């Protein structure tokens, strides 16, 4: 790091520490000079912060520094500097509140000293934690937030009790404001601590996630070195799960572990699904390495699988490779379906799935709502009425058997390992016994909706769609499933419709909707029109 | 959403359904009355006399386009009518 940036950062840190110390002193014994000093210092702190950020950005944008610049460190300094400035602002706010107190003694009844001690203790660790990359110190700084919250909560209750007595309300509310600012210092310290941890593990990470990974690793591999990992964020899923890659070194190389964190109910369901799938078809899902829950959230560590997702293969590999992987996927699906088939009718409830997402779709595309239209006497239903009709028809047309389905078989939830000639399923939290058409249709539309308009690529997609359709027809014929085409039409309509919420291009989204509406209308009048749409499926999938 | 005085409908149909639409529009011309509408508004067109018919077909690779455009003037007649182009709500 540039010596200059580091020097300015040290100055800033020292000034913020002084600011907090002086604020504490003023709370004990107010003095006008001290208050003026605090206010003046705040301007200096703001200037220092601006200077540091400007220097950081200059380094980042200087082509000559491209090789030497430690962008992770600069990012940490950016976050820490911003939060230090907030802490300094809270100090100014606190001394500002003091002037509203009629009796300073009201403040002295409550324990602000412990809160200042906590904040100052952590502030004094920041420099060492940053320079040494010491995770223990960073964790200690993070813990300030919980401790500050605890202290705040205690004082909050005492202040409430006093307020109930009906006297000194003005002073008590002022004191409450002061404690609120102290509590917010804890929040800023948590941000600082998390940024410091991020500096050590490679990327910014929430303390909760760090602890979950550490906990899970120590359960599996013992306490030693459980903190010794690097973290790389992979994605934040639409369902709110955080997904990251934990890299462990040792044994002559590094190995990756996938980390998922989210709502407990969902993560637990995924863990159970992994285990259930592993019992039925061993090796199809990644091994669960660790699970850790706390309150409403939970984390899951699973084995990182070799290979690429089918989506990656479809987008970048040769057609022969695509066909080979697709063959493997379709073969695997047939095996699963045969192995898990239960001769009990089931309704996938595609209409319900569409209804559950229609609000989201309409938020993105309000014009989809439409109205009932007539064209020279021919009537077209609006979307909600059409969905209602579909629901009625679907209820009396279930599949005659059920199988274990993935539940969200998007092309990026299937991993193909060409070296070992096998496929893996990931993201199994929606797995259940249901209609096999659900997985097939989700998979088909996930390929179809890829936003690549190049003709050669669209032809490639056509081949994929045709192979999926053939595979489905083949299985349906063997199971004497006469309703396959009709249910597939509805399954495709469901996925086309719900996918429009991720498609902002008006032409493409409108095109997807029109195809979905066509399939839904045909689904409803299937018998009346001799299942004509069944013959049209190939064409509906051509775009 | 179509503006007042305009009607717009776009959908995907198979050939049999397209034929139904063309037949319905054809009957409308034969009867001299074409009604287009939604729950909110209805538009009635009353073609009389001469109608300009233009037909265009194009083939560009696998993209085929056929456009049939029908236009006429109702100026004299519509100006005499007190009702505007949008003449009421559905069910009137």
Residue A374: its chain B contacts at CB < 8 A? Answer: 35-38, 42, 90
pLDDT recorded at residue B8: 87
How far does B73 lie from chain A, in Å, by closest CA?
20
Q: Which of A238-242, A299-303, A319-323 has the lowest mean pLDDT?
A: A238-242
Q: Which of A118-122, A164-168, A479-483, A529-533 has the lowest mean pLDDT?
A: A529-533
Q: What is the mean pLDDT of chain A?
A: 90
When pLDDT is cut at 50, 70 and 90, the band that residue A228 belongs to is confident
By Cβ distance, the residue of A372, A378, A515 closest to B38 is A372
Residue-wise burial string across A294-305, b where 16 or more C-beta atoms lie within 10 A, e elsewhere: eeebbbbbbbbb
Tens digit of each residue's pLDDT (9 = 90 or more) over A118-169:
999 999 999 999 988 888 899 999 999 999 999 999 999 999 999 999 889 9
| pLDDT reading at B35 higher than 90 | yes
Residue ranges and CATH numbers for the domains of chain A are 3-203 (1.20.58.220), 208-303 (3.30.200.20), 308-540 (3.90.1200)
How far does B91 lie from chain A, in Å, by closest CA?
11
By Cβ distance, the residue of B12, B27, B40 closest to A376 is B27
| pLDDT reading at A415 higher than 90 | yes
| pLDDT reading at B88 higher than 50 | no
Share of chain A above pLDDT 90, in %: 63
- Are the CB atoms for A330 and A323 separated by under 8 Å? no
Q: Is the Cβ pair A376, B25 closer than 8 Å?
A: yes
- Strand arrangement, sheet containing A414-417: A308-309, A414-417, A422-425
pLDDT recorded at residue A372: 85
Q: Which of A296-300, A324-328, A516-520, B87-91 has the lowest mean pLDDT?
A: B87-91
List, in sequence order, every beta strand (DSSP E) within B1-92.
34-38, 42-45, 52-60, 63-71, 86-88
Q: What is the mean pLDDT of chain B?
A: 81
Tens digit of each residue's pLDDT (9 = 90 or more) over A69-103:
787 888 899 999 999 999 999 999 999 999 999 99
pLDDT recorded at residue A174: 96
The position carrying tokens 């308009």 is: A453
Tens digit of each residue's pLDDT (9 = 90 or more) over A349-400:
999 999 999 999 999 999 898 888 889 999 989 899 999 999 999 999 999 9
List, in sequence order, every beta strand (DSSP E) within A304-408.
308-309, 373-375, 378-380, 403-405
When pLDDT is cut at 50, 70 and 90, the band that residue A294 belongs to is confident
pLDDT recorded at residue A246: 83
When pLDDT is cut at 50, 70 and 90, the band that residue A237 belongs to is low
Residue A377: its chain B contacts at CB < 8 A? Answer: 24, 27, 35
Q: Is the Cβ pair B24, A376 closer than 8 Å?
A: yes
pLDDT recorded at residue A189: 97
pLDDT recorded at residue A478: 97
Q: Mean pLDDT across the stretch B16-41?
A: 91
Q: How far apart are CA A482 and CA A143, in angstroms?
A: 62
Model's pTM, two decimal places? 0.76
Tens digit of each residue's pLDDT (9 = 90 or more) over B70-83:
999 876 555 544 44
Q: Which of A105-114, A182-191, B31-40 has the lowest mean pLDDT?
A: B31-40
Q: Is the Cβ pair A375, B27 closer than 8 Å?
A: no
- Are the CB atoms for A301 and A289 separated by under 8 Å? yes
By Cβ distance, the residue of B1, B14, B36 closest to A375 is B36
Complex ipTM: 0.80
Tens digit of each residue's pLDDT (9 = 90 or more) over A2-14:
778 888 999 999 9
Q: Rg (Cα) of chain A, in Å, rounded?
A: 30
pLDDT recorded at residue A238: 55
Q: How far apart are CA A392 and CA B51, in angstroms?
A: 45
A259 bridge partner residues: A244, A301
Q: Mean pLDDT across the stretch A237-264?
A: 73
How far does B80 lie from chain A, in Å, by closest CA?
24
- Are the CB atoms for A3 and A11 separated by under 8 Å? no
pLDDT recorded at residue B76: 58
Q: Which structure tokens are listed for B14? A: 């198979």
pLDDT recorded at residue A36: 93
pLDDT recorded at residue B33: 93
Domain ranges of chain B: 15-88
Number of A–B residue contacts, CB under 8 Å:
55
Q: Is the Cβ pair A515, B12 closer than 8 Å?
A: yes
């Amino acid at each position: 790091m540039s010596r200059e940036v580091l020097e300015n950062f040290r100055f800033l840190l020292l000034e913020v520490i002084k600011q907090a110390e002086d604020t504490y002193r003023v709370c004990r014994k107010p003095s006008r000079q001290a208050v003026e000093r605090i206010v003046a210092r705040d301007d200096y702190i703001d200037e220092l912060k601006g200077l540091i950020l400007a220097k950081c950005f200059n380094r980042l944008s200087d082509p000559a520094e491209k090789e030497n610049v430690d962008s992770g460190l600069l990012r940490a300094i950016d976050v820490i500097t911003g939060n230090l400035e907030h802490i300094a602002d809270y100090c100014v706010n606190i001394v500002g509140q003091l002037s509203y107190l009629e009796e300073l003694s009201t403040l002295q009844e409550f324990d602000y000293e412990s809160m200042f001690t906590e904040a100052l203790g952590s502030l004094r660790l920041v420099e060492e934690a940053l320079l040494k990359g010491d995770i223990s110190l960073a964790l200690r700084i993070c813990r300030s937030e919980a401790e500050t919250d605890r202290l705040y909560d205690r004082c909050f209750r005492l202040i409430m009790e006093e307020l109930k007595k009906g006297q000194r309300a003005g002073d008590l509310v002022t004191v409450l404001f002061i404690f609120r600012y102290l509590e917010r210092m804890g929040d800023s310290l948590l941000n600082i601590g998390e940024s410091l941890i991020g500096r050590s593990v490679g990327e910014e990470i929430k303390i909760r996630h760090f602890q979950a990974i550490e906990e899970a690793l120590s359960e599996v591999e013992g306490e030693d070195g459980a903190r010794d990992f690097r973290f790389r964020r992979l994605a934040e899923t639409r369902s709110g799960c955080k997904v990251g890659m934990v890299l462990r070194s040792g044994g002559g190389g590094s190995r990756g572990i996938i980390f998922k964190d989210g709502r407990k109910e969902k993560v637990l369901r995924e863990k159970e699904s992994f285990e259930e799938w592993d019992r039925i078809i061993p090796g199809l899902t990644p091994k669960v390495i660790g699970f850790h829950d706390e309150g409403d959230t939970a984390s899951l560590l699973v084995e990182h699988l070799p290979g690429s997702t089918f989506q990656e293969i479809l987008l970048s590999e040769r057609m022969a490779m695509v066909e080979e992987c697709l063959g493997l996927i379709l073969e695997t699906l047939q095996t699963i379906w045969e192995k898990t088939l239960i001769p009990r009718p089931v309704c996938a409830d595609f209409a319900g799935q569409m209804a559950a997402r229609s609000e989201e779709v309409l938020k993105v595309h309000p014009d989809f709502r439409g109205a009932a239209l007539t064209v020279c006497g021919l009537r077209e239903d609006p979307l909600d009425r059409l969905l209602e009709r579909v629901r009625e028809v679907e209820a009396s047309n279930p599949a005659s058997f059920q199988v274990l389905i993935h539940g969200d078989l998007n092309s990026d939830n299937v991993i193909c390992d060409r070296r070992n000639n096998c496929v893996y399923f990931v993201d199994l939290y929606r797995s259940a016994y249901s209609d096999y058409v659900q997985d097939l249709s989700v998979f088909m539309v996930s390929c179809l909706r890829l936003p690549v308009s190049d003709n050669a690529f669209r032809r490639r997609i056509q081949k994929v769609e045709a192979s999926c359709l053939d595979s489905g027809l083949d299985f349906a014929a063997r199971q004497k499933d006469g309703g396959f085409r009709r249910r597939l039409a509805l399954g495709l309509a469901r996925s086309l419709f719900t996918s429009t919420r991720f498609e902002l291009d008006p032409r493409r989204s409108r095109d997807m909707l029109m195809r979905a509406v066509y399939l839904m209308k045909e689904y409803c009048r299937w018998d009346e029109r001799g299942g004509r749409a069944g013959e049209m499926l190939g064409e509906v999938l051509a775009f | 959403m179509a503006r007042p005085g305009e009607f717009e409908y776009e959908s995907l149909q198979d050939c049999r359904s397209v034929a139904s639409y063309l037949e319905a529009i054809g009957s409308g011309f034969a009867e001299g009355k074409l009604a287009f509408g939604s729950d909110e508004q209805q538009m009635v067109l009353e073609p009389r006399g001469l109608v300009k018919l233009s037909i265009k077909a194009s083939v560009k690779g696998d993209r085929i386009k056929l456009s049939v455009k029908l236009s006429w003037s109702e100026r004299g007649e519509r100006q005499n009518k007190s009702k505007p182009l949008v003449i009421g709500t559905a069910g009137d």
